[in-house]
Amino acid sequence: MEIITASYLTSSPSIQQCPSADRPEYAFIGRSNVGKSSLINMIANNAKLAKTSAVPGKTQLINHFNFSGRTGDTVPIQQWYVVDLPGYGFAKRSLAMRSQWERMIQNYLLQRKNLAQVFLLIDSRHTPQKSDLEFADNLYSNNIPYTIIFTKSDKENQREVSKNVSSFTDELKSTQQWLPAMIITSSIKKTGRKKILQRIAELNEAFYK
């Protein structure tokens, strides 16, 4: 997939304000600081598209980006939305902010009609974290299709990354009958970009069928 457009569209405080659900949508979520902005920028080939913020967890908005691209010269251009969702697991958030986040995210996940896939980002440097497993289980039990993206794979040696991926998979197996697809990425080395775009291209095609 070759990206043609990748631009910021709008930020919405709730699903009601989101742009019209007229094309497939891919939501990116994970713990604060997991590398979400860097990953979206890597996919877009634009280092400045999503802000990599120094103060995580401040904004609680649903951020839409317009993307378009194509898989070859003779095929039609595909259009889709990329959504940057506010991260979870930010310790300094107040209880009230946390429950507001939960409501906003859950409404979005359960009601957004054009949501084609959630990309759940997990930091490949860590052993399985409770908040990540809980989020994955939430997606699974609500039948929301998702793919796991392991981030920052350049930071540890390959053996450590594989070990963490296996442990995470083992944990998922204890609660989920069907395992999601998993992609190992590094925004610095641009690892995994092709695989993510290939998945988006396939899901775009399925959306219009």
108 versus 150: smaller Cβ distance to ligand GDP: 150
In the complex, the smallest distance separating the C-beta of residue 207 from ligand GDP, rounded to whole angstroms, is: 26
What is the dihedral angle through the alpha carbons of 169, 153, 106, 3, rounded to the nearest 10 degrees?
A: -120
In the complex, the smallest distance separating the C-beta of residue 191 from ligand GDP, rounded to whole angstroms, is: 8
In the complex, the smallest distance separating the C-beta of residue 87 from ligand GDP, rounded to whole angstroms, is: 6
In the complex, the smallest distance separating the C-beta of residue 85 from ligand GDP, rounded to whole angstroms, is: 10
15 versus 34: smaller Cβ distance to ligand GDP: 34
90 versus 108: smaller Cβ distance to ligand GDP: 90
Q: Residue 8 phi/psi, 5° resolution? A: -70, 140
Q: Which residues bind ligand GDP (CB under 6 A)?
A: 32-38, 52-53, 56, 87, 151-152, 154-155, 186-188
Q: Identify whether the C-beta of residue 101 lies closer than 8 Å to the C-beta of residue 89.
A: no
Which residues, 6 or more positions from 92, have their beta carbon under 8 angstroms from its beta carbon?
Answer: 57
Token code pair at residue 120: 């759940």
Closest CA to 185 of 148, 139, 159, 160: 148
186 versus 204: smaller Cβ distance to ligand GDP: 186
147 versus 204: smaller Cβ distance to ligand GDP: 147
In the complex, the smallest distance separating the C-beta of residue 31 from ligand GDP, rounded to whole angstroms, is: 7
Which sign does the torsion angle of CA 114, 37, 11, 91 carry? positive
β strands within 78-157, DSSP E: 78-84, 115-123, 146-151
Packing angle of the helix pair 158-173, 130-141 (nearest 10 deg): 50
